[in-house]
């Protein structure tokens, strides 16, 4: 889909489109904004609020243009002004606001090539019953199946909340199906076999493989 060329606004860096907006998403946002008392006075504010596993979480809201501070990047797409807090700019750069691709699914989606660092601020250790059980499961059941594709999965560690951190390598790194393999296959196998595991988090640097992908 094409994206309207942004027009220049008051901000010196306003020509940079950090988060692209598809035509369909633009129409949807403008339609929602039109229900407000003074639509033209409102900007779409997009902020990264945190992370859930390997995905960022976001807040999208309308904000009065006059209330937007200097600590926000501002640019326009068509008739819509987009504002992004400076702290979210790098984490949204190259992302796209769009409608869901699945038929009948409402709302908006952000397709972002950037990923949070799941290990940031987390202290891990390869000790304890959960780590031993996960390692045994990977070595005895999961890796033999992945070996036929030249790949493997390794335990990075377990945190105090029983979250398990796993990375994929070999032929799995950079493979477009590897994230789905971990999410749908390995995650399910670990959680079913080891009920005390709270969550399985993928720490693979998929972009470093031969076939990097983004979802």
- pLDDT bin (cut points 50, 70, 90) of residue 8 is very low
What residues contact residue 68 under an 8 Å CB cut-off, 6+ apart? 43, 45, 74, 83
* pLDDT(3) > 70: no
Of 7-16, 58-67, 179-188, where does the model show the most confidence? 58-67
Q: What pLDDT band is residue 7 in, cutting at 50, 70 and 90?
A: very low
Buried b (16+ CB within 10 A) or exposed e, 178-194: bbebbeeebbebbeeeb
Per-residue pLDDT reduced to its tens digit, 16-27:
899 999 999 999
Rounded to an integer, the average pLDDT of 192-215 is 67
Query: CA-CA distances (angstroms) from residue 39 to 36, 61, 81, 172, 209?
Result: 5, 13, 11, 48, 45
pLDDT band at 210 (very low <50, low <70, confident <90, very high): very low
Residue 152: per-residue pLDDT: 84
- Per-residue pLDDT, 211: 36
pTM (2 d.p.): 0.60
Burial class for 44, CB neighbours closer than 10 Å (0-12, 13-18, 19+): buried
Cβ atoms within 10 A of the Cβ of 76, count?
17
Asked if residue 172 has pLDDT above 70, the reply is: no
Task: Inform me whether the pLDDT recorded for 29 exceeds 90.
Answer: yes
Over the chain, what is the mean pLDDT?
80
Average pLDDT over residues 117-142: 72
How far is Cα 109 from Cα 208, in angstroms, rounded to an integer? 25
């Amino acid at each position: 889909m094409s994206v309207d060329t942004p027009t220049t606004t008051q901000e010196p860096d306003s020509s940079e489109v950090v988060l692209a907006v598809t035509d369909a998403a633009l129409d949807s946002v403008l339609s929602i904004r039109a229900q407000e008392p003074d639509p033209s006075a409102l900007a779409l504010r997009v902020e990264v609020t945190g992370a859930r596993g390997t995905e960022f979480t976001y807040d999208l809201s309308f904000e009065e243009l006059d209330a937007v501070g200097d600590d926000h990047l501002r640019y326009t797409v068509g008739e819509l002004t987009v504002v992004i807090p400076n702290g979210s700019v790098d984490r949204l750069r190259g992302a796209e606001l769009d409608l869901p691709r699945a038929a009948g699914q409402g709302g908006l989606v952000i397709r972002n090539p950037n990923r949070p660092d799941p290990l940031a601020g987390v202290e891990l250790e390869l000790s304890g019953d959960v780590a031993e059980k996960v390692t045994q499961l990977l070595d005895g059941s999961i890796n033999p199946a992945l070996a036929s594709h030249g790949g493997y999965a390794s335990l990075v560690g377990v945190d105090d909340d029983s979250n398990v951190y796993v990375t994929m390598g070999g032929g799995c790194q950079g493979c477009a199906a590897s994230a789905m393999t971990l999410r749908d296959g390995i995650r399910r196998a670990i959680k079913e076999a080891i009920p005390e595991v709270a969550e399985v988090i993928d720490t693979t640097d998929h972009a470093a493989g031969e076939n990097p992908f983004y979802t």
